[in-house]
Amino acid sequence: MAKRDSGASRSDRIFVWANAEYSAGQPRLEWINPPRQWSEDLHIERPYLPAGPLFDAQDGSDYGTGFAPFAETPVFVVDRPLGAKPLFDITGRFRGVFLVSERAKDVLEKLDLDAFVFVDVETSLANGEQGPRHWLGDLVRKLDAFDLEKSEGARIDQVAPLMRFSISPRYDRNVFRRDVIGSAHFFRLKSSAAAIYCDDVARAALHAAPKLRGISCSHVGTLDA
């Protein structure tokens, strides 16, 4: 396989979106009325949200498929302890979808309007007062943008009934297809839709002061020549 020059310019780099872990004093968000699904194994109803919650039968992945109509408006309760830190602008603990503040929604839509869908939600504080406005968001653009042949150390394993994609741990050896990505700033991969990827333009905007809290972008590959 072809080797890549690890000295690629910043504009040629691709990043993966990572959500921050809760820390001491960080407010918690509890979704109190998520969709529920009957579990045949446990014989109970359980909270259920495949990232969507629509299932994409074409590629076997339920990540990045948008939102089915909710029976009721999603409600989140904010547990804000005394002296708590500010809420994250982006909270990603909801099986592939994420909760965003008004500022984060504005940034994402200005960067790449067609990549995202949002659903308005209600938030309240533990004492019953109304919380800050938030939205549930999903990244719905999925591209066949990874060049497996040029990416040294990456592979796809057959795990019935699906395929499991493994990106190379040598991030300077992962190659993404420029012609497929085009002008997109955010995308998922069709071969592995759980992760969210972005280019340097998006990373710069997400990290610009004041940085959006709760999100970071780590270098994971380069665009092809």
Tell me which range, 54-58, 154-158, 204-208, is most confidently predicted by mean pLDDT.
Answer: 204-208
Give the range among 5-19, 72-86, 101-115, 187-201 with minimum mean pLDDT: 5-19
**CA nearest 101: which of 85, 112, 119, 87?**
87
80 Cβ contact list (under 8 Å, min separation 6): 27, 87, 125, 126
Give the range among 3-12, 22-31, 52-61, 123-132 with minimum mean pLDDT: 52-61
pLDDT at 6 > cutoff 50: no
Tell me which range, 36-45, 75-84, 179-188, is most confidently predicted by mean pLDDT.
Answer: 179-188
Identify whether the C-beta of residue 219 lies closer than 8 Å to the C-beta of residue 170: no
User: Can you tell me the mean pLDDT for 45-55?
Assistant: 44
Task: Return the higher-pLDDT residue of 81 and 69.
Answer: 69
Structure tokens at 65: 């498929």
The pTM (predicted TM-score) of the whole model is 0.81
What rounded mean pLDDT belongs to the chain?
79
